[in-house]
Amino acid sequence: MTVSNTSSSTGTGSATNVSGGGSAIANNFDQFLTLLTTQLKNQSPLDPLDTNQFTAQLVQFAGVEQQLKTNETLGSLLGLSAASTATNAVGFIGATITAEGTTARLKDGAASWKINAPRGGSATITIKNSTGSVVQTLTRNLDAGDQTYKWDGKTSTGVNAPEGDYTISIDAKDTTGQAMTAKTQISGVVDGVDFTSSIPMLKIGTISVPIDKVKTVVRGQ
């Protein structure tokens, strides 16, 4: 009975170490081999440790160690990838980019958006200021494909809107009256990069553009 109790206590200790010592597997795998050896030495002669059970434990320890090492490697690769992305983002400074977006800067009485319509038709265009208030609503014809909409900064009352950021929304229909989605793009010169979010944000004045939304990049000659 004494041997049996010793074996039970040893088994409990091994389970505790395995469940709570995950980091130790990667740092000192020999420690777990020692635990297995101790378990063998203290096993009951009347009820020896099953060979298959011993092999399964050994394989399990090896598998956990390999997984932890893999996680460490993946962490290192992600760190290198993030550093590379940051370096690439800084390279955009000074370049003129075109990117998916709806917010453009009104400056010197002009703001523009690139519009892509899948089919010809018409659209109701709504322009809002940075507080979300509607400053202009108008209708215009759309051609199939790419085109540019230029806003002269005039509000619905005919006054000049102050310089700032304005957002466009398009309610488009084709020639048969069916609704369709018109995509918008913005363009401008990148003058900074914001790294506070998970994806670097290219700055065009006060406008933030996720780096993965960039479509074209042009540098001045």
Other CB atoms within 10 Å distance of the CB of residue 186: 22
Cα separation of 141 and 120, whole Å?
Answer: 8
User: Which of the listed CATH numbers 1.10.287.610, 2.50.20.10, 2.60.40.4070, 3.20.20.450 matches domain 96-218?
Assistant: 2.60.40.4070
CA torsion sign for 75, 78, 84, 90 is negative
What is the pLDDT at residue 173? 96
Alpha-helix runs per DSSP H in 91-213: none
What is the pLDDT at residue 121? 96
CA torsion sign for 50, 52, 58, 61 is negative
149 and 140 in contact (C-beta within 8 Å)?
yes
119 and 144 in contact (C-beta within 8 Å)?
yes
Residue 57 corresponds to which amino acid?
Q
Other CB atoms within 10 Å distance of the CB of residue 132: 7
Other CB atoms within 10 Å distance of the CB of residue 74: 10
> Any bridge partners for residue 75, and if so which?
none
Q: What is the pLDDT of residues 55-105, one digit of tens each?
A: 676 677 667 667 767 777 776 666 556 556 667 788 889 999 999 999 999
Say whether 46 sits in a helix, a strand or coil: coil
Residue ranges of the chain with per-residue pLDDT less than 70: 1-33, 35-36, 39-40, 42-55, 57-58, 61-62, 64-65, 68, 75-86, 220-221
115 and 182 in contact (C-beta within 8 Å)?
yes
Q: Where are the domains of the chain?
A: 2-90, 96-218
What is the pLDDT at residue 38? 75
Query: 145 — alpha (psi -120 to 50), left (phi > 0) or beta?
Result: left
- Nearest CA to 186 out of 163, 167, 212, 164 is that of 167
Helix (H) / strand (E) containing 203: strand 201-204
Q: What is the CA radius of gyration of the chain?
A: 32
What is the pLDDT at residue 11? 41
